[in-house]
């Protein structure tokens, strides 16, 4: 049975059109995986000498155990956002003559061999080997290694329980953020020192390997908790069912002011608000706004005004870049409708332009408090906004005509690479770095004002020639129409 399941899994992975189409993306993912493996390996090899060097009087193993709490908390958070229990795939299996329990054991068992559980091994094994070399007892080290692996699996299964509980609420990530925030806070302010608690628990287990029974017992308990939880839900009207939302309707009368693009604008606003994927790109805006706080208070960047331009473009353009680079893939689900309806391409594209323009202005207004870090920041942000409206919007729209990837609007956003092609990677960089160059050259050779003027003039030129530029962009869309329809028809 298990071998059948594995062969299904294998085929699902390698036969998905996703895998076959986007080798480039897979290479990027493999690169990321290798990067993480190297990081963890480095940590594993470097930890012991590093700790010995910094705290020569203390026992490195005890220090590590003292900080295990943070490791576990971080692990849990990472998993919550990036690891999912793939229950949807088992729907076709339900009516086949397979026991429900063996389906569940397979799904749960499979989650135990995920990348997340292997990653810690790259740290734990080298660290353990170094401990052995440095004269720790084999029993202690082996118990410790075994314990860490057990703890990793405990987090693995704990995460699925938390996920299934919090998935019922909108903004499902708030409970876990609050929970881990409170734990962190209690620990940080020494109200309850989880560091010490976890540390001493681990220490006593490594001292007496019989106590391993406790974590193993916990693991088994959690596994069965998951098992029973899932068993109740293994019906197509429970967890396997896609949720239906209650529709809220607004007529958005204010968009009428935008004339012929009004109905597309309404459509875009509804698109943003009613679908998971684009909705999260609205939330990313909030993160983008805070981006400046990394740079402006830092004295290192005090005299690197070019970085202000980078931040300015980013802050006023984050929505634009997030939304714009997937035009027209957002509409891929019903692109055939748009293409056979009485629609002028120009109006369709102009609506997207209007939306991006409004976002840039709005983001600039919200970012005005950055003036606290000096008037130059505000001036740079203003120039960046004009540049974004005049130049970057058009670049994004033009880039969109090369989009060949469908987007499924109902999928979530974080680490969702659906719809991402080579174009997105290529287009992202010039959007932010070219204005830095445009600013830097006049700034270096003349002065600050000249740099700002260059950006503003470029932006205004773009705005003045908007109609002309749009004509060219529209032509590019019309030329690639059939290719786009065909590509958006493919399921990935």
Partner 1 sequence: MIKVANISKKYGQTTVLHLENLEIPKGQSFGLVGNNGAGKTTFFNLLLDLIQPTTGAITNNEIQVDKSEDWKPFTAAFIDESFLIGYLTPEEYFYFIGELRGMNKADVDTFLEPFEELFNGEIIGKRKYLRDLSKGNQKKAGIVAALIGNPEVIILDEPFANLDPTTQIRLKKLLKSLTEENKTTVLISSHDLGHVTEVCERIVVLEKGELIKDIETSEATLKELEGHFSV
Please work out the total of residues on this chain that contact partner 1, with binding judged by CB under 8 A.
Answer: 29
Coil, helix or strand for 262?
helix
Half-sphere exposure of 30 (CA within 13 A, CB side): 7
Least spacing, CB of residue 349 vs partner 1, in Å? 15
Instruction: Figure out which of the listed residues 29, 343, 365, 446 binds partner 1, where binding follows CB under 8 A.
Output: 343
Contact at 8 Å (CB) between 121 and 149?
A: yes
* Distance separating alpha carbons of residues 189 and 196, to the nearest angstrom: 13
> Which string of DSSP letters, residue by residue, matches 166-205?
HTTSSSTHHHHHHHHHHHHHHHHTTSS-HHHHHHHHHHHH
- Give the 3-state secondary structure of residue 82: helix
- 470 and 350 in contact (C-beta within 8 Å)? yes
User: Which listed residue (274, 376, 412, 475) binds partner 1 by CB under 8 A?
Assistant: 274
Q: Which residue among 372, 414, 472, 489 contacts partner 1 (CB under 8 A)?
A: 489
Q: Does 482 bind partner 1 (CB under 8 A)?
A: yes
CB of residue 485 to partner 1, shortest distance in Å: 5
Q: Tell me: does residue 248 bind partner 1 (CB under 8 A).
A: yes
Q: Does 267 bind partner 1 (CB under 8 A)?
A: yes
Stretch that binds partner 1, among 62-70, 149-157, 201-209, 245-253 (CB under 8 A): 245-253
409: contact with partner 1 by CB under 8 A: yes
**Site map (CB under 8 A) of partner 1, residues 28-67, x = contact:** ----------------------------------------
Query: Applying CB under 8 A, which of residues 102, 163, 485, 492 lies at the interface with partner 1?
Result: 485
Hey, what are 297's tokens? 């208070």
477 token code pair: 């869309």
DSSP code, position 368: G
CA 86 vs. chain centroid, Å, equals 18
Q: State the nearest-atom distance from the C-beta of 78 to partner 1, in Å.
A: 30
Query: Rounded to 10 degrees, what is the CA torsion of 49, 55, 59, 60?
Result: -40
Beta carbons within 10 angstroms of residue 17's beta carbon:
10
Q: Is 336 in the site for partner 1 (CB under 8 A)?
A: yes
Task: Retrieve residue 382's tokens.
Answer: 């203003």
Q: Is 241 in the site for partner 1 (CB under 8 A)?
A: no
Residue choice 275, 281, 392, 420 for contact with partner 1 (CB under 8 A): 275
Residue 487 in contact with partner 1, rule: CB under 8 A:
no
User: 303 vs 342, which CB is nearer to partner 1?
Assistant: 342
Chain residues that interact with partner 1, rule: CB under 8 A? 244-249, 263, 266-267, 270-271, 274-275, 333-337, 339-343, 409-410, 482, 485-486, 489
């Amino acid at each position: 049975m298990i071998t059948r399941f594995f062969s299904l899994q294998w085929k699902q992975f390698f036969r998905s059109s996703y895998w076959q189409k986007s080798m480039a993306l897979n290479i990027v993912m493999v690169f990321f995986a290798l990067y993480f493996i190297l990081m963890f390996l480095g940590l594993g090899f470097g930890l012991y000498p590093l700790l010995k060097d910094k705290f020569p009087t203390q026992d490195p193993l005890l220090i590590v155990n003292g900080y295990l709490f943070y490791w576990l908390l971080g692990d849990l958070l990472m998993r919550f956002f990036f690891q999912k229990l793939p229950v949807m795939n088992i729907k076709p299996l339900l009516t086949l003559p397979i026991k429900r329990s063996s389906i569940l054991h397979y799904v749960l068992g499979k989650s135990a061999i995920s990348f997340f559980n292997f990653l810690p091994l790259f740290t734990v094994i080298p660290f353990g080997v170094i401990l052995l070399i440095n004269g720790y007892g084999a029993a202690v080290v082996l118990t410790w290694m075994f314990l860490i692996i057990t703890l990793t699996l405990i987090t693995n299964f704990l995460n699925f329980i938390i996920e299934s509980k919090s998935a019922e609420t909108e903004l499902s990530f708030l409970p876990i953020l609050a929970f881990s925030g409170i734990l962190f806070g209690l620990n940080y302010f020494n109200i309850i020192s989880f560091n010490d608690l976890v540390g001493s628990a681990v220490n006593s287990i490594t001292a007496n390997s019989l106590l391993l029974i406790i974590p193993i017992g916990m693991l088994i308990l959690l596994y069965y908790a998951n098992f029973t939880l899932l068993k109740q839900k293994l019906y197509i009207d429970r967890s396997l069912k896609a949720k239906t939302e209650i529709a809220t309707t607004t007529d958005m009368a204010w968009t009428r002011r935008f004339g012929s693009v009004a109905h597309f604008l309404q459509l875009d606003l509804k698109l943003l608000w009613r679908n998971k994927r684009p909705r999260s790109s609205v939330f990313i805006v909030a993160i983008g706004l805070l981006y400046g706080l990394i740079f402006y208070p830092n004295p290192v960047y005090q005299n690197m005004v070019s970085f202000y331009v980078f931040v300015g473009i980013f802050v006023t353009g984050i929505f634009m870049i997030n939304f714009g680079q997937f035009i027209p893939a957002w509409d891929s689900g019903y692109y055939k409708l748009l293409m056979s309806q009485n629609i002028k391409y120009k109006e369709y594209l102009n609506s997207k332009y209007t939306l991006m323009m409004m976002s840039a202005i709005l983001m600039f207004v919200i970012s005005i408090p950055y003036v606290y870090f000096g008037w130059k920041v505000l001036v740079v942000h203003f120039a960046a906004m004009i540049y974004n409206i005049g130049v970057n919007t058009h670049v994004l729209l033009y880039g969109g005509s090369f989009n060949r990837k469908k987007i499924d609007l109902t999928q979530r956003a974080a680490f969702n690479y659906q719809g991402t092609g080579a174009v997105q990677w290529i287009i992202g960089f010039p959007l932010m770095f070219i204005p830095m160059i445009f600013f830097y050259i006049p700034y270096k050779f003349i002065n600050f004002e000249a740099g700002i003027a260059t950006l503003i003039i470029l932006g205004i030129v773009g705005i003045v020639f908007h109609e002309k530029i749009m004509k060219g962009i529209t032509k590019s869309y019309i030329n690639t129409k059939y290719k786009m329809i065909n590509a958006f028809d493919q399921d990935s």
